[in-house]
Chains A and B, each alone.
Chain A
Amino acid sequence: MRAVSLWRKQPLSLACRSRTFVSDSTSKIQIFDRQRKRAQRDRAAWSTPLHDPLLHSVSQNLLDRLQDCKKTFPTALCLGGSLQPITRSLSAPPANGGVEKLIVMDASYDMVQACRNAYRASPNNAVQTEFLVADEEFLPIKESSVDLVVSCLGLHWTNDLPGAMIQSRLALKPDGLFLAAILGGETLKELRIACTLAQMEREGGISPRISPLAQVRDAGNLLTRAGFTLPGVDVDEYIVKYESALELIEHLRAMGETNALSQMNNILKRDTALATAAIYDSMFSSEDGTVPATFQVIYMTGWREHPSQQKAKRRGSATISFNDIQKQFGSQS
């Protein structure tokens, strides 16, 4: 919904793209081209370095939350996104959260295959791991069958984020935990500005180059709307320094995080690309000659409902007046 007004201004691209949607009679807005994203992730499977520092720190931060839980999670499902760091830390012997069975899922076959090869090559395979190619929007998991759903930097590419979260909730057993990290709206703000300025300057108009992302305030609503109890949201900002904007694009490509909007302009003029890099450099470069890029990560935690969880009591059910409490304890302070 967020970018609709922007796209309505481009009837031309809508017209030539609408052919793709002839078979799709739903009124749902297709923001992202999932098929393109799959292809990009196939490519990323070959180019992602084994230890990407950004993906590594985000996944560590996400999985650290498991250590705060007393509960163990025998069956875990890992949705798409940065699979390898998650699989690595969940299947290593001092496994977080007591995971015994791990299901690794991604929409890209090559990504799953790369993950499987890494799993086979690692010496300590204490955790039984299964692999699966599936789409987060059409989750093929039986109701109430897993204890934990982890999604690390994958859900921001879904067209129907609430729908995907509802499906994750249904897949969870009662008192199961949903952990997700998605990129937030502040992500790549420098690139967004540089792209807009360069396009205005060279082409006299703009087209969306960077996808619409969820804002922090949306994340809490999303969790509540998907029906999770005890929702928790927190935000972290990572600033990554690159030599130039071109290295930034290479890194995005290696992570499979490049543009996959279904209404994107497929042509990028060399002129505009170079102008973007130049504007990026002149506006944001720091003293040591590097350019920073912001990655805002929103961490979301939610539980599937269970009678053992704490709940607010019914209104008017209190038997003791606050005045009495004040009298009892107020004198001590």
Chain B
Amino acid sequence: MVKGSKEILQKAAKTLSDILVCPLSKQPLRYCEESNSLISDAIGVAFPIKNGVPCLVPRDGKILEEEDASKHDSDTNLSAVNEESLGRSA
């Protein structure tokens, strides 16, 4: 029952992802089943899906480690997110 509803939730998140784009770069998002998150490849940020609800507030995003090269991006909002999450992890 729980597993079944979880699958439905994930399916809902997937159908929703046709409409969703990255809130900062407006580029398409990729669904990652392993981490259950939506990944914006353009800026290297993963947005979590909590309980079937995608959380796309810039503050909720996590910078992906292998994508450090994206830091030179001139998007100021992105750099705000960058510095914040770096400060949190430090």
Instruction: Indicate whether A and B interact.
Output: yes
Chain A contact residues, CB within 8 Å of chain B: 23-26, 35, 38, 75, 103, 107, 109, 112-113, 116, 130-135, 138-143, 145-146
Min distance, Cβ B60 to any Cβ of chain A, angstroms: 7
Which has the most chain B C-beta neighbours within 10 Å: A23, A112, A133, A140? Answer: A140
Is chain B's interface secondary structure helix, strand, loop, or mixed overall? mixed
* Contacting residues, chain B, for A131 (C-beta < 8 A): 52-53
Q: Closest A-chain residue to B16, C-beta based?
A: A130
User: Is B20 a contact of A26 with CB atoms below 8 Å?
Assistant: no
A140-B23 Cα distance, complex, nearest whole Å:
4
Known: A134-B57, A138-B77. 12 other contacts (CB 8 A): A23-B84, A26-B76, A109-B55, A130-B15, A133-B55, A133-B57, A134-B55, A138-B23, A138-B24, A138-B57, A140-B22, A143-B21
Q: Please give, as numbers and ranges, the residues of chain A lying within 8 Å of B64 by CB-CB distance.
A: none
Q: Is B56 an interface residue (CB 8 A)?
A: yes
Using a CB–CB cutoff of 8 Å, the interface residues on chain B facing chain A are 12, 15-16, 18-24, 26, 28-29, 50-60, 76-77, 79-80, 83-84
CA distance A132 to B84 in the complex (A): 23
Cβ-defined contact, A107 with B57, below 8 A: yes
Q: Of B15, B53, B59, B83, which one neighbours A35 at CB under 8 angstroms?
A: B59
Evaluate contact between B53 and A133: CB separation under 8 angstroms. yes
Contact of A113 among B18, B51, B59, B83 (CB under 8 A): B51
Contacts of A113 in B (CB 8 A): 51, 53
Residues of A within 8 A of B21 (CB): 140-143
Residue of A nearest to B57 (CB): A135
Verify A25–B76 contact, CB threshold 8 A.
yes
Known interface pairs A109-B55, A112-B53; A139-B23 also in contact (CB < 8 Å): yes
